[in-house]
Amino acid sequence: MRTGQFVILVLFAALWTSSCEKENPVEKQEERIDAYIKAKMNKNPALKLSDENSVRYLYEPDDTEINVAAGDSVYFYYAGTLVADTLKYFDTNIKELAEALRLNTESRTFEPVGVIVGNNNLLPGLAIGLNMVHLGDNGEIIFNSDMGYGKTGNGVVPPYSPLIFKIIIVKIKKN
């Protein structure tokens, strides 16, 4: 390869890389999250919003307001999706949804996930969000890529992707 062609190739790669980074800045994620939440709340004024450390919990309250505390066991169904122009689910433990989306269902039990709050290996955004849930909630834990898969992404989740975990809390076992 000639030196001139090599230099052009390197410059093209550098420009392409910098343009990709500009398309996915962390600051833009907050704008996308805010727009998503505003649209949801405009459609359903009964929704409530909790906010803690860049993690938001958007939910429709149930009559029971049993709060979660560190050490409690929480059991929930979830569906992970992207905050994007199109809804793209990447993971779920809801059988009907997994089958409809043709997600890998062979190794799944499709039972509620049980975790001890504050003592788990969840994504940081999901772990923080679980501290805001109540029994009976049907809500969404929403967070930017810094609290999710970051600049590397994971599988079908692209780098710098803000995430939504739609959750249904079915049981809280107090510590």
Domain edges within the chain: 25-173
State the number of CA atoms in the 13 A half-sphere of 71 facing the CB.
Answer: 2
Give the per-residue pLDDT at 114: 92
Along the chain (175 residues), what's the average pLDDT of each consecutive run of 10 residues?
Answer: 48 44 66 92 92 89 76 92 78 88 78 88 90 86 93 88 92 89
List 48's β-bridge partners, or say none: 59
CATH number for the region 25-173 comes to 3.10.50.40
Give the per-residue pLDDT at 87: 63
Give the per-residue pLDDT at 97: 87
CA dist., res. 139 & res. 73, Å (int): 18
Give the per-residue pLDDT at 35: 92
Give the per-residue pLDDT at 147: 93
Output b/e per residue, 132-150; b: 16+ Cβ within 10 A. bbbbbbebbbbbbbebbbb
